Amino acid sequence: MSRVKLLPEILASQVAAGEVVERPASVVKELIENSIDAGAKQIEVRLQRGGLSLIRVIDDGLGMERDDALLALERHATSKISRAEDLAAIRTFGFRGEALPSIASVSRFRLTTREHAAIAGTDIVVNGGRIDAVRDGGEAPGTQVEVRSLFFNVPARRKFLRAEATEARHVEQQFFLQALAHPETGFVLVRDDKVVRQLPPTASLRERIRDLFDASLLADLLEVPARESAIQVSGWIGRAGVSRSTRAQQFLFVNGRAIDNALVTAALREGYHTALMRGQYPVTFLFIALDPREVDVNVHPAKREVRFRDPQKVREAVVSAVERTLRGARDHWQEQFEPPALPQRSPALLSSLPELAPPFPAFPAPAMTPSAAIVPPPSDTDMPSPTRKNAPAFQIIGVLSKLYVLMENAEGLVLVDQHAAHERILFEELRRRMEEQGVPSQRLLLPQILSLPARDAEWVERNAATLRKMGIGIEGFGANTFRLESLPAFLRVPEASIFLRDVIDELRSTARSSSPLRLGEDMIAKTVCRHAVKANDPLRYPEIEKLIADLLACDLPYCCPHGRPTMIQISHLELEKKFGRKV
Ligand code: ADP
Ligand code: MG
C-alpha cells in the first residue's frame, strides 16, 4: 500500500512557516523587508499586545496589481529572482517567495495594496491559508499587510510564544535592525495605539543612531573611516574602553542585511583586542558591503546567517577597519589633555607638591634591573630645564589616593588611573621589543624540569618560538617534558613552573593563538598587569609627568591592555550640577 503523498498546499505552507515565522518579530522582519524591496520611503509598524493579536505593516512602496497580489500568496511566487543564476548574486532582501503564504497560513491575514497609477487597489482576506475574499480596496498607494491572531490554527506553535512584553521587545529589536539598515526610509512604530518610535528619513546613519538611541551614545562612537576596497567596511563603533555586558548593541550588517556571524564577531573582538574588557561586548553599527556574488544569503530560512566565499578576507577587512578606527581617535583624545587657556597653577609650584613617599624605583617596571630597564629612570632632581621650555601639553593638579592623577583642561577635570596608564605604556613597550629583538630574559639559577599533559606539551612545542621571544626560554627535554631555563627579566615570580603553567592555561583558553604576535600580546597583557605600578605606589611629580607624556605617545592610550579606561573626564557642567549651580 502506498503511504507517500504530497502535502496539501496549506499544510505545506504551515510547515514552511515553521522555519520562517517563529514569532511576531519574524513577521515584522519579513514584512519590512518586503516593503523595502518595494522601494518604500515610509514604513509604519503597528502592534497590539506585542504582536500577538495584531501586526500591521503599512508602506508607500510600489504596490501590486490584483493578479500579482493573488500570486504573491502562492508558495514560491516571487518577483525577485527568476533564474538559477540570480541565486548567486542576490540584491533584494527577499527571494524565496515564501513569507507571505507562510504568514497567511498561520494567521488571520489581510493584504491591501494599490499601485501608484491605479484607480483602485485590491483587498484580499485570508484565514489560515484559505482565501476568503478578494475585492476592490486600498486607499493610499502602497501596501498594507495585517496579521491577526498569529498561530491561531497551530496551537503547538502558539504555545511557544512568550509574554506580550517579551514579544514586543523582540519586535522592537527587529525594528531597530531594519531602521539602522535603512536610514533613508522613515519608520514609525506604534504599540497599543501609542507612537513609541518616530524616525524621519535621514541622510546618514549617524542621525538614525541619534534618533534611535540616546544622543549621548554618539559621543562614545567613532566613525569607521572609508577606504577603497573590494570589501567595504563602514559605520560607527564604540571608542576603546566603551563596551556593554550584552550583545544588544552589537549590530552587524552585510549588504544591508542584519546578520549573526561568528566569524565577523570574532574579527570585531580581534580588532578591539586590548581595547575591550574581558566578558564585555563592543558597541558596533558595522556595515560590510561586498559583491553579492561573494556572499551566500541562502543558508538560513530567516536569512540571519550568511556564508562568505572568502571568509579570511572579510575577517581581515573587519579587523583592520576596527584597528584603524580606534587608532585614528588618538589626536582627538590627546586634545582632551590640553590645559585651559589660563593655567591656574604653575608646574614649578607643583614640583614641590608630591613629596609623597619612598622614591619610585626604576621606571616603569618596578622590579627591573637597570640593564633591562625599558625607559631610563627619571633623574631624582627636579625636571631638567629643557623639559620646561616645551611645557607639557597637560596640567597636573595633584594625585588622589596615590592612584588617580588629577589634571585640568578646558572642559573641567581629567582623571588618569596611573596603574591603568602604566600598564598600557608597558604593554606597548614590551610589544615593540618583542617584535624587534625579543624581550630581555633572565636565566634561572636552577633550570626547572616540567612534564606537561600531552595537550599542553603539544601547545608549548607549537609556540616555543613565540615564548622565547617573550623571554621564556624553554627547551624540549624528552617526551612531554621540558626544561625551563629563563623568564622575562621584568618578572618577579616566586615559582617559575607555576607561572609557566598559568601562562599555558590562560593562553590556551583564549584560543587566540592565531598568530604569534597575538599570542605574545596576550601574554604581555596577562603578565604585565600584575607587575605594573601597583595602585598605590606613590610617584613623584616628574615621574607622573613622564607617565602622562608616555601615555599620550601610546598607540591606543585610551585604555589599559584589558580594556579598562585610562582616563575619565568630569566636565564643569557635571560639577556645577553636583553643586546645585545648574539644574
Ligand atoms: P519574496 O519576498 O521572497 O519574493 P514574499 O512571499 O515575501 O516573497 O513576497 C512575494 C512577492 O510579493 C514579492 O516578490 C513581491 O513581488 C510581492 N510583495 C510582497 N510584499 C510587497 C509589498 N509590501 N509591496 C509590493 N510588493 C510586495
Ligand atoms: Mg519577502
Instruction: Show Cβ contacts of residue 280 under 8 Å, excluding neighbours closer than 6 positions.
Output: 243, 244, 245, 563
Whole-number pLDDT of residue 321: 97
Give residue 102 CA to ligand 1 midpoint distance, Å: 12
Residue with grid cell 581629567, as numbered in its chain: 414
Whole-number pLDDT of residue 58: 98
Length of the chain: 583
| Contact in structure between 109 and 145 (CB atoms under 8 Å) | yes
Of the candidates 285, 212, 204, the one whose C-alpha atom is nearest the C-alpha of residue 244 is 285
* Torsion sign, CA atoms 416, 422, 427, 433: positive
123 DSSP β-pair partners: 112, 135
475-488 pLDDT, tens per residue? 999 999 999 999 88
**Nearest residue (CA) to ligand 1, atom 2:** 94
d(CA 428, CA 547): 13
**What average pLDDT does the chain have?**
86
Whole-number pLDDT of residue 385: 40
Q: Is 488 helix (H, G, I), strand (E, B) or coil?
A: strand
Whole-number pLDDT of residue 365: 35
Q: Is 461 helix (H, G, I), strand (E, B) or coil?
A: helix
Does residue 100's CB lie within 6 angstroms of at least one atom of ligand 1? yes
| Contact in structure between 186 and 208 (CB atoms under 8 Å) | no
| Contact in structure between 409 and 340 (CB atoms under 8 Å) | yes
Q: Residue 237 corresponds to which cell in the numbers above?
A: 563603533
345-362 pLDDT, tens per residue? 544 444 444 443 333 333
pLDDT in tens, the chain (583 residues): 889 988 888 888 888 888 889 999 999 999 999 999 999 999 999 999 999 999 999 999 999 999 999 999 998 889 999 888 888 888 899 988 999 999 999 999 999 999 999 999 999 999 999 999 999 987 799 999 999 999 999 998 999 999 999 999 999 999 999 999 999 999 999 999 999 999 999 999 999 999 999 888 999 999 999 888 999 999 999 998 888 999 989 999 999 999 989 999 999 998 998 888 878 899 999 999 999 999 999 888 888 889 999 999 999 999 999 999 999 988 888 888 888 876 555 444 444 444 433 333 333 333 333 333 333 334 444 444 484 444 457 889 999 988 899 999 988 999 999 989 988 998 898 888 888 888 788 899 899 999 999 988 988 888 888 888 888 899 999 999 999 999 887 676 778 888 888 888 777 765 554 566 777 777 777 766 666 655 567 788 888 999 999 999 999 999 998 888 999 999 999 999 999 998 7
Does residue 69's CB lie within 6 angstroms of at least one atom of ligand 1? no
Give residue 50 CA to ligand 2 midpoint distance, Å: 22
Q: Residue 14 corresponds to which cell in the numbers above?
A: 504551515
| Contact in structure between 183 and 207 (CB atoms under 8 Å) | yes
**Nearest residue (CA) to ligand 1, atom 16:** 79
Count of alpha carbons within 13 Å of 361, Cβ hemisphere only?
12
| Contact in structure between 45 and 57 (CB atoms under 8 Å) | yes
Whole-number pLDDT of residue 535: 57
Residue with grid cell 637597570, as numbered in its chain: 370
Whole-number pLDDT of residue 334: 84
DSSP annotation string for 287-327: EEE--GGGEE-TTSTT----EESSHHHHHHHHHHHHHHHHH
Whole-number pLDDT of residue 302: 81
Predicted model pTM: 0.78
d(CA 429, CA 320): 21
Residue 315: Cβ-neighbour burial (10 angstroms; 0-12, 13-18, 19+): buried
Q: Residue 458 corresponds to which cell in the numbers above?
A: 603539544
Q: Residue 142 corresponds to which cell in the numbers above?
A: 502602497
475 CA to centre of own chain: 40
d(CA 257, CA 154): 29
Rg, C-alpha atoms of the chain: 31
Whole-number pLDDT of residue 339: 85
187 CA to centre of own chain: 24
Q: DSSP code of 559? A: B
Q: Is 160 helix (H, G, I), strand (E, B) or coil?
A: coil
Of the candidates 309, 285, 286, the one whose C-alpha atom is nearest the C-alpha of residue 297 is 309
For residue 77, the ligand 1 atom closest to its alpha carbon is 10
Give residue 101 CA to ligand 2 midpoint distance, Å: 10
Among the bound ligands, name the one nearest to the CA of residue 109. Answer: 1
Whole-number pLDDT of residue 384: 43
Among the bound ligands, name the one nearest to the CA of residue 76. Answer: 1
DSSP annotation string for 218-237: GGGEEEPPP--SSSEEEEEE
| Contact in structure between 312 and 267 (CB atoms under 8 Å) | no
Give residue 123 CA to ligand 1 midpoint distance, Å: 15
565 DSSP β-pair partners: 559
